[in-house]
Chains A and B, each alone.
Chain A
Amino acid sequence: MISDRVKKSLKRELNHSLMAKIGIVLVLAIMLMAMFAPFFAMHNPTQQQLDRAHQPPLGVTQTSEEFRFVDGERQIQEVTIQGTAEHPFGTDSLGRDLFSRVLFGARTSLMVGLFGTLFAVGTGVSIGLVAGYYGGRVDDSLMRFADIMLAFPALVLAIALVGLLGPLTVRIPDPFVAAGLVEGMPATFVFPITLTIVVGVVNWVWFARIARGEALSIRQEEYVKAARSVGASDWTILRQHILPNSLTPIIVLATIQVAAIILLESSLSFLGFSGTTLSWGFDIAQGRDYLGTSWWISSIPGLAIMFAVIGINLLGDWLRDALDPGLSGEGGV
């Protein structure tokens, strides 16, 4: 499926770009984290241990004043807690292990990012190809609808849709737990369905525009006319000739969109609209109330989002430079 020429150009670009290498390493690291979270995690990310609440990360010493009852009298005491290797990223206000939560949060972000993008690509590309290939009234009405969609900022539309439709989720069994390979980890993964569909719905327009443009130009080519004259159906032409030839810009945009959708997912989870509590955005929201005392609860999950998005953006830059030097970096939420 990938031609030798494309492979060569990907390799050449990778060889002289440090950034591309960093991107690949970051993305692979996050994917491994997400996939094998139950193996890397040292605690169940949802298990509360109130006596261990607000423990600082490894290497950090936190001094705070606490009320203690000594001989039935209330006294203010200075308490010093030291971060331990038991909880390398510290714990949150309910004593849940942040390191494990960051690992499992990667699952939510990547799953929503991948499936949301797939949904957007599927809808957008089909609509765009049909509009561009048939042209005329079909094209006009589909593109007017796209204009209306574009009149809403993606995040605003997503907030409204997810907030109003309500968070529908499914529980997917964790294969490692089901196979008995790990113990003490959550048996299911909560996959936010409404959220995934909504982030796809608010992003399909970009793919529709690209696919339409490609279809418009390719349908004039000689080989398409030739295929039509030998009796190929519209469906065959779309699938066998037009789609493969418009793949490059779609792949590049899709990569960048995964990053945009991860940012969108974290924003919606931050607002509490996602329906899952194992998400980087959700943890950042939780930590907001403890900024004065436990700064790590909000800070660390945000760093995780940042590294994931940086990795994917670098990957996107690499693909763009290698596959199509003529493309500019437009699009996004």
Chain B
Amino acid sequence: MSQARFLIRRSLQGLLVVWGVITLVFLLRFITPGSPVDFVAPLDASPELRAQIAINLGLHQPIYVQYFDYLFGLVRGDMGFSYIRGRPASGIILSRLPATIELAVAATIVAIIFSIPLGVLSATRRHEPTDYAATTFSLVGISTPNFWLGIMLILIVSVGLGILPTSRRPIGLIPALEMLIFQLQISGIRTWIAHMILPAVTLGTYFTAMIVRLTRSGMLDELGQPYVKAARAKGLPETLVTYKHALRNTMIPIITVLGLQLGSLIGGAVITEFVFNWPGLGTLVIDAIVVRDWPIIQGALIVIGIGFVVINIAVDALYTKLNPRVSYE
């Protein structure tokens, strides 16, 4: 099968999964105890007022009518109106999306920058202090709850040393870049970076630890292979053998597992946002759950689900590109 056909098939499967996600999220409201009206109506509301509110929210319709209304709304980009803020849910969700993406990307960059060199060093200097330090770090890293790590970083770096800011950031990446380009002011981007460091490290540590583990075991496997011996025998410098030959083959299992672990990146982002009061999707969803703001809950969960499916397809495509032995099946 060609790559294009593979991608089309994979996208169609993804579409099916997205439809399932939407249906599941829609049904969530009906297995939740209590009516949405309880959270919207005043405490002393008369039965007539409550009935009127239910009609305004469209809750009086049979469930299948509500379902198709919702589905057709989604196709037009309409997720309903937030019960609490009265504005379109889709607009609120979209405005929160950049902060979450910036956080996830920054954490991934942190993870890749630190983990792969550390994993390689750990494997090439097996049973040396570097190796023990790296394996200990990775064990602690995968075992530390990231919300606690975030709080400890706030405690040590912000409260103790007083260097980096902790809570709600004043500026996003795009406004900061606009400031830089149009007003030639660097202060925006500096503020942005200062607010990004702790959350990115908090979210990235688990992945750094995980990739160190994977890189180390993968490199140990590869360095024992005959082709590495052959490369050494023909006199290639060790750096070239390590980084060009062995590391390249190690990347394949790393990417596979990273794809599987994307869910924990998104889940981790939700709780990291909560710790740092980050204006992203995660804090939005948690706040909305507490007040039962259904259009926001549903919309945000669907956006997260779609994002996850899309990234997974991208990882699959990357994977088949990196590993020519994998057929597009």
Contacts and interface: CB of A to CB of B under 8 A. Distances in A.
Do A and B form a real pair?
yes
Interface of A: 144-145, 147-148, 150-156, 159-161, 163-166, 259, 263, 266-267, 270-271, 281, 284, 287-288, 291-292, 295, 298-299, 302, 305-306, 309-310, 313-314, 328-333
Contacts of B16: 144
Contacts of A313: 139, 142-143
Given A159-B285, A165-B31, A330-B260, A266 B267 contact: no
Cβ-closest 4 pairs across A and B? A155-B267, A302-B148, A148-B20, A153-B263
B20 A151 contact: yes
Interface string B283-311: 00110011010000100010011001100
B213 interface: yes
A124 to B, nearest CB: 16
A296 to B, nearest CB: 10
Contact of B286 (A144, A145, A271, A309): A271
Interface of B: 13, 16-18, 20-21, 24, 28, 31-33, 139-140, 142-145, 147-148, 151-152, 154-155, 159, 213-214, 217, 253, 257, 260-268, 270-271, 274, 285-286, 289-290, 292, 297, 301, 304-305, 308-309
Nearest to A288: B151
Contacts of B142: 313
Contacts of B292: 164
Nearest to B304: A156
Contacts of B308: 151-153
21 contacts: A151-B18, A151-B308, A151-B309, A152-B301, A154-B264, A155-B263, A155-B270, A156-B267, A160-B285, A163-B286, A164-B28, A165-B32, A291-B159, A292-B159, A299-B155, A306-B140, A314-B139, A328-B257, A330-B260, A332-B261, A333-B263
B144 A306 contact: yes
Contacts of A287: 151
Given A147-B17, A148-B17, A295-B155, 6 more contacts: A150-B263, A151-B305, A151-B308, A154-B263, A298-B151, A305-B145
Given A152-B308, A291-B155, A291-B159, A267 B147 contact: yes
A310 B31 CA distance: 36
Contact of B148 (A152, A160, A305, A330): A305
A27 B142 CA distance: 17
A57 to B, nearest CB: 15
A160 B301 contact: yes
Nearest to B298: A160
Nearest to A260: B264
B20 A160 contact: no
B257 A160 contact: no
Contacts of B28: 160-161, 164
A305 B142 CA distance: 12
A56 B21 CA distance: 48
Nearest to A305: B145
Given A156-B304, A164-B289, A329-B213, A284 B267 contact: no
Contacts of A333: 263-264, 267
B266 A153 contact: yes
Contacts of A153: 262-267, 270, 304, 308
A332 B142 CA distance: 11
A151 B17 contact: yes
Given A295-B155, A298-B151, A160 B297 contact: yes
Contacts of B154: 291
A267 B297 contact: no
Contacts of B17: 144, 147-148, 151
A156 B270 contact: yes
B144 A159 contact: no
B290 A159 contact: no
B159 A309 contact: no
Given A154-B264, A271-B271, A266 B140 contact: no
Nearest to B268: A155
Given A298-B148, A302-B151, A310 B143 contact: yes
Contacts of A292: 159
A259 B267 contact: no
B234 to A, nearest CB: 31
A14 B147 CA distance: 33
Contacts of A148: 17, 20-21, 24
B152 A152 contact: no
Contacts of A270: 145, 147-148, 271
Given A154-B264, A291-B154, A144 B274 contact: no
